[in-house]
Amino acid sequence: MLSRVAESLFWMSRYVERAENTARFLEVNLNLLLDLNDITAIDHPNYWNPLIRVTGDPASFMERYPEFNAHTVTDYLVFNRQNSNSINASIGMARENARSIIDSISSEMWEQINNLYHFLQTITPQQVHNDPFSFYREIKNASHLFQGITDNIFSRTEGWEFIQIGKYLERADNTARLIDVKYHMLLPREGREHDPVHDSFDTIQWMAVLKSCSALEAFRKVYLSKIDPENILWFLVLDRTFPRSIAFSIYAAQEALWRISGSSRHRYANNADRLIGKMEAELIYTTVEDMYNKGLHSFLEEIEQGLNRIGEQIHLLYFAYHTPKIEPNDIHEALPFTGLAGGRANWSQSQQQQQ
């Protein structure tokens, strides 16, 4: 397979996943504010600031908008093309990648992503503000339909594996950053004794964390009605049966990478396979207590940085148009990366092409 085709399949999948995650975060936040309306004031910037911290770069946002509120955050995360993580920009880039390899994907896949792109061109900010739930539902359903079409008619070749790698690396990164931001907003501050959820305010907030990962119903099937922070953390990070957990996503990406290279648990063929295999193995033996002992922020930050290094090595190994040094003596000598504007952990296609 040509590197150009593999790269476009990878990024097409990753951008579609990114748009869906952003739509879900925005929809869940609106539902949360409706649930909290009778309990607390909902116009405080603290209810909108975390969305920028999870899906974008706060410094970039503050350069363009005077404050955090429903209108400014929605505009930045939905319409602003200068924000490479916005829904509009993500679907635009996904479409461009699909268009560049239109002979390598099915006509149904192209039609679906093209239809979603043109749908976004007809939507105005006022329409989204008037009926946000219909808009976000349309984005999520369109993403699910695209993934369903791909699952059902795309041949299980190397191209399929790159689609899976892109999707699951993006998903793991989004889940890690969501937990990092939301969990620390809800837990008691350092120095205070940890206290489980007691009142309705905390319960609604914890439910929103699960809903942001489409995990509430799956969580309740395991834990019934017990909304407990430790259980939520275990389910979203370590559960190997839930498709949006970090552990499941890393395992799925690892399997796809290994099927391409022929690596196994006893022998790795390249540095990307080694890094993701190491991360997956560490998660198998990690407990919630281990995360607390290490510091939850530090633990999740290591995962985000690890995913970033895996992405860099995938780029060097499969996508780069020069002959790279794939196996550096020190992994820290690999392709340097600072994130989007020094912020978001996962990298963008345009940045990688400029290396």
**Domain boundaries in the chain?**
1-153, 179-355
Q: Could you report the per-residue pLDDT of 180-205, keeping only the tens digit for each?
A: 887 766 655 444 444 443 456 677 77
Phi and psi (nearest 5°) for 102?
-60, -25
Q: Is 43 exposed, middle or buried (0-12, 13-18, 19+ CB in 10 A)?
A: exposed
336/312 Cα distance (integer angstroms) = 8
pLDDT at site 203 = 75
pLDDT range class, residue 70, cuts 50, 70, 90: confident
Could you report the per-residue pLDDT of 280-293, keeping only the tens digit for each?
999 999 999 999 99
- Given a cut of 50, whether residue 69 has pLDDT beyond it is yes
**Which residues are paired to 344 by β-bridges?**
340
Q: Residue 105 above 90 pLDDT? A: yes
Banded model confidence at residue 56, pLDDT cuts 50, 70, 90: low
The confidence score (pLDDT) of residue 336 equals 34
CB 24 within 8 A of CB 140: yes
The reported pLDDT for the residue numbered 266 is 83
